Structure 1
Amino acid sequence: MRVLLWHVHGSWATSFVHGPQTTLVPLTPDRGPDGRGRPDTFHWPDRAVEVPYDLLRDEHVDAVVLQRPREIGLCERWLGRRPGRDVPAVYVEHDTPRRTPADASLPEEVVPDSRHFLYNRSDIPVVHVTHFNELFWNCGRAPTTVIEHGVVDPGHRFAGDRPRAAVVVNDPLRRGRVAGTDLLPALAEAVPLDLFGMNVSDVPRRLGIAPERLRTYEDLPQARMHEELARCRVYVHPYRWTSLGLALIEAMMLGLPVVALATTEAVEAVPPEAGVLSTRVATLAEAARSLAADGPRARQMGKEARAHAVDRYGLPRFLRDWRHILTEVTR
């Protein structure tokens, strides 16, 4: 099977391209958002193939996996076929609902009855990455299903030689309260933080946090980031409103215990033996401080976190689920 997929979310796409299908990845000369091609910071198998956008019309494509509304138009222009009509397609909904079109002036407005943009279409199934997403999005006529995340297992690598807490947030200053960036000062008072992600280097200055209380690691390759994460004793997940971050699952697979806001899908992903969940910031700060100070306890809770993550979010189940839905839509 040959599947067209835009490179949008690096970690999620890395899991997807490990499936048995040939994945065609659009490439533009500038490697911009609509044509990134293969990544430099993730390991992809050879069956993920870059295809220049202007040569896509010459390619045989069995199905399209869409991830952004504008990809329907891109598909029509570049592939010359209409998703759901001329070529089978599914739409992966990575995000929690934020607003309806009428609320466009309120970028952080959360509307539980938000209508999905495919609300009136029945020809493109919507695949949610969490059950929380399926619950909150109003998809109308569109068929829906849930395929939970699957993660390439990085191995049990917990070292815990740094009595610090790790946090992974891309673009924390832009994302603000949604990602819990405003909570970092209070957390950093309780426990030193190592912040990983894109565009993180200016966070200590902008938030007024001393560099020794908040160290930043910007845009590391995935393998290097895993090495650095495994040296911390606890993983902190400060997101208020999000789908389940793959970095959280990766941290659990590495063997780190978790401290997280008890919001969205986190309450399903982190069992009590694997970490501490709460809506009280003081409770989370104290839990992170305590785990960072107690290496043996952090290691034991991390073992539980890893066991749960491998069982629920292992790659074989993820790829099996995707093989099933792609087979269904191409029949």
Structure 2
Amino acid sequence: MRILLWHVHGSWTTAFVQGPHTYLVPVTPDRGPDGLGRARTYDWPDSVIEVPPERLRDTDVDLVVLQRPHEYALAERWLGRRLPPTVYLEHNAPHGCSPGVPDTRHPAADLPDVTLVHVTHFNRLMWDAGSTPTTVVEHGIIDPGPLWTGELERAAVVVNEPLRRGRTTGTDLLPRFADAAPLDVFGMGTHGIADRLGIPPDRCQDHELDQRDLHHAMAARRVYVHPVRWTSLGLSLLEAMHLGMPVVALATTEVTEAVPEGAGVVSNRIDVVTDAVRNFVANPVHARLTGEGARAAALARYGLPRFLDDWERLIKEVTR
């Protein structure tokens, strides 16, 4: 089967293209947002093929995976024909001020002949999809292996653009966590974060690492901290659990589903989560045992085989 999708979310796409199909990703000369082509910082199989937009009219496509509102019209224009079976994959929770989250209409609401696929049950609950049929295919992670050593008495945080995204990513909470343990903040747009937040440099360092180096760097830290207030479900949280890291997270969106008892500490009380960070850093045996629980839970619910099997079932349903 030949599946057309745009390279939008590198981590998610890396898992998706491990399936048995041919994956067509548009590429433009400038490799802009609508034509990134193949990933450069992730390992993708040879079954992912770059296709210039002008060649799509003459290319057989069995399924279209949309991920952004404008892609429906873009796919029609580039294919030059009525769309084949189509799904709209929604990565995010609704994030609007008006009319408010519970009443936020999804861009795919009432679109004809489209199935809306959410990555979490929380997202499905919160978006108003109108008459569009919806389903959930939860995330799947390529297992990086049980790399955790916890040799560094520090906490890892992974977040992109924390200064720009502010309260959404819990950036304002980092000074509180830095009081509990020294932080290493990984991700794009983290440079200078300690200075911007008034955190002493010995309590917070920023790092922008290639994906290939990130997992080993995370795994050397004693505990993973997920301070995000409002997101779909951070893949970095699931990756940390796969690594065998104990996790400390806010009890928001899908986190309470993803982190069961024995895998870490989940709470909306700042004193509870900061105390948990202190305890994990001070007690490596407790950190190791909790991390083993986190890994077992992540493999059971967010393993790659389950993810690919779920997508295969859905693909068969929408293309039959």
1:11 Cα deviation after fit: 0.4
More deviation in 121-130 or 13-22? 121-130
Partner of 1:36: 36
Let me know the Cα RMSD of the aligned residues. Answer: 1.2
Q: Secondary structure at the residue paired with 1:121?
A: coil
Give the structure 2 partner of residue 209 of structure 1: 199
Contact 1:122 1:143 in 2 (8 A): no
Query: Quick one: structure 1 residues 125 and 255, their matched pair in 2 at CA, closer, same or farther if it must change by over 3 Å?
Result: same
Structure 1 CA distance for aligned equivalents of residues 264 and 126 of structure 2: 25
Shift of 1:53: 2.2
Dislocated runs of 4+, deviation >2 Å: none
Given the alignment, which residue of 180, 183, 192 partners 1:193?
183
State the Cα distance separating 1:132 from its structure 2 match. Answer: 0.3
Pairing 1:247–2:236 present: yes
User: For structure 1, which runs of at least 5 residues remain unmatched after alignment?
Assistant: 104-108
What TM-score results when the alignment is normalised by the length of structure 2?
A: 0.97
Counterparts of 1:150 and 1:65, CA distance in 2: 17
Match in the other structure for 2:316: 327
The amino acid that maps onto 2:318 is: V
2:2 maps to 2
Which residue in 2 is equivalent to 1:93? 90
| Equivalence map 1:279-318=2 (5 Å) | 279-318=268-307
The one-character-per-residue Cα deviations of 1:154-196 (angstroms, maximum 9, x if unpaired) are 0011111111111110111111111111111111111111111
Find the residue that maps to 1:212 and give its secondary structure.
Answer: helix
In 1, the alpha carbon distance for the partners of 2:95 and 2:127 equals 10
CA distance in 2, matches of 1:78, 1:140: 27
CA–CA separation in structure 2 for the residues paired with 1:221 and 1:324: 33
2-side partners of 1:134 and 1:81: how far apart?
30
Percent identity for Structure 1 against Structure 2 = 59
Structure-1 separation of matches of 2:260 and 2:117:
25
SS state of the match for residue 101, structure 2? coil
SS at match of 1:60: coil
Q: Cα deviations across residues 98-156 of structure 1 (Å, max 9, x unaligned)?
A: 127xx3xxxxx852121112222241110000000011111110000000000000001
**The residue matched to 2:262 in structure 1 has which SS?**
helix
141-150 or 66-75, which deviates more: 66-75
- Once residues 31 and 194 of structure 2 are traced to their aligned partners in structure 1, the CA distance between those partners, rounded to angstroms, is 30
Give distance in 2, aligned partners of 1:181 and 1:71.
31
1:109-128 equivalent positions in 2, closer than 5 A: 110-128=100-118
1:156 aligns with 2:146: yes
SS at match of 1:50: strand
Match of 2:215 among 206, 212, 226: 226
1:138 to 2:128 alignment: yes
Paired residue total:
320
What CA distance in whole angstroms lies between the structure 1 residues aligned with 2:248 and 2:100? 24
AA at the equivalent of 1:95? N
Deviations 1:221-273 (A, max 9, x none): 22200010000111101111111111100000000011000111000000120
Letter matched to residue 84 of structure 2: V
TM-score under structure 1 length normalisation: 0.94
Cα drift, residue 81 of structure 1: 3.0
Letter in 1 for 2:128: N
Counterpart of 2:158 in structure 1 is 168
Q: What one-letter code is carried by the residue in structure 2 that aligns with 1:177?
A: R
What is the alpha-carbon distance in structure 2 between the residues aligned to residue 8 and residue 21 of structure 1?
Answer: 18
CA pair 282-81 structure 1, distance change in 2 beyond 3 A = farther
Q: What do residues 59-81 of structure 1 show as CA deviations (whole Å, max 9, x unaligned)?
A: 11101000000111211222223
